[in-house]
Amino acid sequence: MTTASDFFQVSCPNDHLVRVPAGLAGEELVCPQCSGRFIANAADSVEAGEERLERAARQWLWVAVAAAALLVTAGFGAFLAGMLS
């Protein structure tokens, strides 16, 4: 039985989406739609792009949380400074 991880999807030079068996990663393939030749790089796959996008989103989430915490801390510090003077 094959699973989703046994395949990855890449675009041919003419932007046709081609489903590639994982065992053919790095091989030169021919697009079944346009006969364009290309190298099937797993790093250029749709799945790898989605993973990079998710990783970037998580990084920005951490930046936003840290910025919010800094602003709350600064606001609370300013409030306390105002109360003490």
Domain boundaries, the chain: 4-84
Pick the closest to residue 26 from 5, 46, 4, 10 (CA basis). Answer: 10
pLDDT of 46: 84
Phi, psi of 28, deg, nearest 5: -80, 125
- The CA radius of gyration of the chain, in Å to the nearest whole number, is 24
- The percent of residues above 90 in pLDDT, for the chain, comes to 49
pTM score: 0.55
Mean pLDDT, range 57-65, rounded to an integer: 89
Task: Give residue 31's pLDDT band: very low, low, confident or very high (50, 70, 90).
Answer: very high
Mean pLDDT, range 30-46, rounded to an integer: 91
Mean pLDDT, range 53-60, rounded to an integer: 87
Q: Where are the alpha helices (DSSP H) in 1-45?
A: none
Task: Give residue 77's pLDDT band: very low, low, confident or very high (50, 70, 90).
Answer: confident
